[in-house]
Structure 1
Amino acid sequence: MSEEFEIRNKIAESGFVNFDLSTLIPKGIRKGIDLKDFLFQEMILKEKDFREKVDAIDAEEYKDAYIYIYNSVDTIVPLWAYFVLTAKLTDVAKKIVFGDREDLEVILMHNAVQTYDFEDMRGKRVLVKGCSDKEIPENAYIELVEQLKPMVKSLMFGEACSNVPIVKN
């Protein structure tokens, strides 16, 4: 085949470092605990009853899980109740947060982005993958830009064939 008809992969030759933020999503089971299940008539926190229900939890069911504690009923729960529940599970769970599943994912991705070593991207042209089959909190993209902007030659978002320039240093 002559050189004028040679097929070249211009994307591979571009020198982009492709980065898929979904690779930072921590793997593991997510479990929610609704405080209403620990309340008397799902409305009132009685300390003795609450402590008995917390003591009855099989902590092994939460081993290596990411746990989010939430309250689906409109009732006031004293802060110490979260302490008691967290103390029961903190030795077995990977992470415990207050909030819904979305709050948990934001915190997990925050931790992942803040602790990831981006040094191999220093001075390079980085393309952050735009499409993912996994849900990624928007805040993770913001934090990623904060981490990469000072160190990369350029930062783009999207796909190699169609990307949006974000930063050029």
Structure 2
Amino acid sequence: MAEDFEIKNKVAESGLVNFDLSQLVPKGERKGIDLKDFLFQGLILKEKDFREKVAAINAEHYSGSYVYIYNSADAIVPLWAYFLLTAKITGSAKKIVYGNREDLEVLLMHNALQTYDFTELTDKRVLVKGCSDESIPENAYIELVEQLKPLVKSLMFGEACSNVPIFKN
């Protein structure tokens, strides 16, 4: 009698394609540079002092990293300061942005989504994984829907056992 019993994986048989957005998160260390550390008494940018501090940076410290430059001080920083700092670490860092860590993650995911080849999902029923160990910016989900809507047969969000239908073409 036990021989007649067959376990079926209904999810596998459904033709549903699981898509895990966390697979697109670029790997690499994230490092922030606070311009406050380059200011005289944390308040004023003195060109000579600023140039000396930038010159003292070991660009290799940022090798292979994703870098975000921000200013936590209540000080006005001229645009050329960002030019100098960026010029110093360009070539070592993988990517440099102005803003906070979240701004960096949004841009990295944007770039990943714009360059990913989604053609393998054409006319498929796609389930976008709802839970991840990676922190995914909300904007990435919006961009993903924009990318998938013209391609896929249907889109769902969540897990196979409990998902939310988004659309059907």
User: For 1:98-117, what aligned pairs fall within 5 Å after superposition?
Assistant: 98-117=98-117
In the other structure, the counterpart of 1:16 is 16
In the other structure, the counterpart of 2:90 is 90
Structure 1 position 6, deviation (Å): 2.2
In the other structure, the counterpart of 1:125 is 125
Alignment-mate amino acid for residue 70 of structure 2: Y
Structure 1 position 134, deviation (Å): 1.1
Deviation >2 Å, runs of 4+: none
In the other structure, the counterpart of 1:154 is 154
Aligned residue pairs total 168
- Aligned partners of 1:12, 1:42: CA distance in 2, in Å? 59
User: For 1:58-69, what aligned pairs fall within 5 Å after superposition?
Assistant: 58-69=58-69
- Aligned partners of 1:148, 1:66: CA distance in 2, in Å? 27
Residue by residue, what CA displacement relative to the aligned partner does 1:1-49 show, whole Å, maximum 9, x if unpaired? 465x422110110101100000000000100000011111110001111
In the other structure, the counterpart of 2:74 is 74
Identity %: 78
Structure 1 position 76, deviation (Å): 0.3
In the other structure, the counterpart of 2:137 is 137
Alignment-mate amino acid for residue 117 of structure 2: D
- Aligned partners of 1:147, 1:75: CA distance in 2, in Å? 40
In the other structure, the counterpart of 2:33 is 33
Residue by residue, what CA displacement relative to the aligned partner does 1:128-157 show, whole Å, maximum 9, x if unpaired? 000111110000000000000000000000
- Aligned partners of 2:11, 2:56: CA distance in 1, in Å? 58
- Aligned partners of 2:114, 2:146: CA distance in 1, in Å? 10
- Aligned partners of 1:85, 1:69: CA distance in 2, in Å? 9
- Aligned partners of 2:108, 2:74: CA distance in 1, in Å? 27
Alignment-mate amino acid for residue 69 of structure 2: I
Instruction: Return 5+ residue gaps in structure 1 as ranges.
Output: none
Instruction: Return 5+ residue gaps in structure 2 as ranges.
Output: none
Structure 1 position 167, deviation (Å): 1.2
Alignment-mate amino acid for residue 64 of structure 1: G
